[in-house]
Structure 1
């Protein structure tokens, strides 16, 4: 029984469409979605994968069918028919990709907008020059906004960047001495139009350096090498780099933001699933770039409060034990290779009851000729 070619083509199209939609929704290629920002990114990825799967199956199917259907017969030594072009077919295979690319572009920009990427205020600040007098001083607040209308997010960012713990950490890091001052504000990532202008529930300052992250919690004097955030809370991270470009990337949050020397960048998210997630530097920053990793701990509010309180107690005890004139103790664990022997050993010597006078006696005497 001969099946009409129209029926065969229709059935093949239906099967191809069903396979594409099924795989686009069941690919399991992405890690768990752990933030409120992840849904729109995942939907875009699913749509693009569905379209890509359909195109792959269609093109591959036509190639395989043509190779079999129109293959040269063993006894055929003649030339093929002199066919030159097919204008309707050329219009079709040009118009369909153009429509698909246009549709994906519009959809992508819509997702980018929902993540705060098209906020005109952020871009005006990113490309403007710093005129605020405090912007020229290392460790000071970022430049004032260049727009007449005050931005609550910007005002809050300026205040938290004046946090003493943040300034102390950024001043004590050895790489800081050659870093430019914080000046302009680059575009935000993660701040949707729905919460634009609304202060976040938690603000944390993050400083990137080769090859570690340091997190300070304004108003608490807590300095940590891993990021703790409460579940279902709107979190804003103020990013800065002290040496070279770094990038703050948590795959489970579907967000990435660069940390730029001399600029304040921001990333905003709401974690929705408790757990520990990798925080990866996604910008080549040096020989040990691959080792610049830490974790993000998403925990219920009670557990977060308990952790923060314990860190405050530990920070106070460490500060009391630290020897005057040394760098911030948290930097020893974060980047010991940049410290002098005295700076590295000072906290340990203090714990052992060894003071400066005893250290002088233990040093080898210089020989005199």
Structure 2
């Protein structure tokens, strides 16, 4: 697909994302918040797994660290769970930094392991996070969790409690509308940074490490440093995603950040296409929105049963669809949805002329040389055409 077409498509998608909050109800607005938070986390994981070739099942740990860092630093003191009362903007930055530092501390282990062994090691982080979230009650609120301070910037609040009236095209922008635009800005910034990272020298080094560590070291690439960079960047993305999830929920609890969340992130990037920024976003839309939509409209779908009734509920059906989608991608779409889209665009660009006529040959100029057929033992000369 040509670059102008990509830019036009991106501009149309951006305009649609800006206009959707004016048309959607609260359910779809809330779903959009969860999706955009997951997009940020999925982009970070595809940089680690798809670009650097490091398998991680501990993404939920870094997301939990970012979520509770934001809730603790932005929360007010008092009550069961204390807080520092810092500005929410600073708290959001600290959420990413805390996760990045945790990723750097784990990097000595990630630098020595790879493949399934690294994946098993990162699972331990999820169980560690569960223990800390349940027992560090003064910070996390324990098993019942804690409330999350609403996001705000100086002079403007993103919550429904803001007394200032703000409307666009006759639609009053409440808390969900404002958070939509905040999440959209963060997701676009995350995608832009990741795209530039992939195209940079660091991104090419990560791809070489993924393909062959021995060959990368022979080319002068510091393999250990490249692995640390990938893990730190991915952890920072997960921390920001966790903070966005906390803002979307309004209250966080340990059950939100279990091993299932890490698996969901991995499913997102596999379905979208490993290493693809756009594919990670598409996979996040599918994985996050599917169970929410099925639950919302379960009463209108005859094949869905009520939760706990013993039949197929929305959560079970969504897991079955995840499994079927993963099998289909692994068998028929090795590059994921992003790879299938690129192949479809390439075929469309390479389609033959509908007239059936072959392309006209390029005109010859007088400065061109006419090749001669060499004869055995006879030197060859090129005969130049005279003007």
Given the two structures, how large is their TM-score scaled by the length of structure 2? 0.26
Name the one with the larger strand percent: 1
Larger Rg over CA atoms: 1
Considering Cα pairs closer than 8 Å and 6+ residues apart, tell me whether 1 or 2 has the greater RCO.
Answer: 2
Given the two structures, how large is their TM-score scaled by the length of structure 1? 0.27
Name the one with the larger helix percent: 2
